[in-house]
Amino acid sequence: MVTAEQVWNALAEIPDPEIPVISLVDLGVIRDVGVANGTVRVAFTPTFLGCPALEVMRDAMAERIRELGAEPEIEVLKDDSWSTDRITPEGREKLRVSGFAPPAPREASAPTLVQLQSNVFRCPYCGSTDTKLENIFGPTPCRSLRYCPSCRQPFEQFKTI
């Protein structure tokens, strides 16, 4: 019989399709795992409902659960919204090591453009806070493009969502 711990461990091996340095568990999209009578129910909240990788994530989870010998039931939670606060500390470090600036903790209100333009965002390469917003629009809705004059490296900044 499959245990919830085995399922969590298996899901922790599935990389995010868009940012493969971080797993779905570290990204914080897996909300709940339930095991009963040979069926594993996984509830997850994608980073946003229009995520183009939604089906890829769903299929990867179902495949891993079948490999464990259980029948998958994958539920996309539409009444819950994902937040960057759900990224685990390990996930934040994996992002930083791979060249992404992890998001700042979410404040009571969403960050404004002025806050995004400030130099409080640390460069993942050299650690400098002398960074500049290059473009608020990155490759996905949750990322923006920044530049570090200290080490002359561009990098992606996760927006606080």
In a domain, 88, yes or no: no
pLDDT in the model for residue 58: 95
**Considering 76, 111, 126, which residue would you say is the last residue of a domain?**
76
Residue 81 lies in a domain: no
Residue 94 is assigned to a structural domain of this protein: no
Compute the distance between CA of residue 55 and CA of residue 78 in angstroms, rounded to an integer: 14
CA distance 107 to 113: 14
Position 143 in a domain: yes
pTM, 2 dp: 0.77
Is 40 found in the same domain as 103? no
Which pLDDT score, from 0 to 100, does residue 137 have? 85
| Residues 45 and 10 both lie in one domain | yes
Q: Domain for residue 122, yes or no? A: yes
Domain hosting 145: range is 99-158
pLDDT of the residue at 160: 75
Tens place of pLDDT per residue across the chain (161 aa) = 899 999 999 999 999 998 899 999 999 999 999 999 999 999 999 888 778 889 999 999 999 999 999 999 999 998 888 888 899 999 999 999 999 888 876 665 555 554 555 667 889 999 998 899 899 888 877 788 999 999 999 998 887 77
Q: Residue 138 and residue 7: Cα distance in Å, rounded?
A: 33
Q: What is the dihedral of CA 111, 17, 93, 118, to 10 degrees?
A: -20
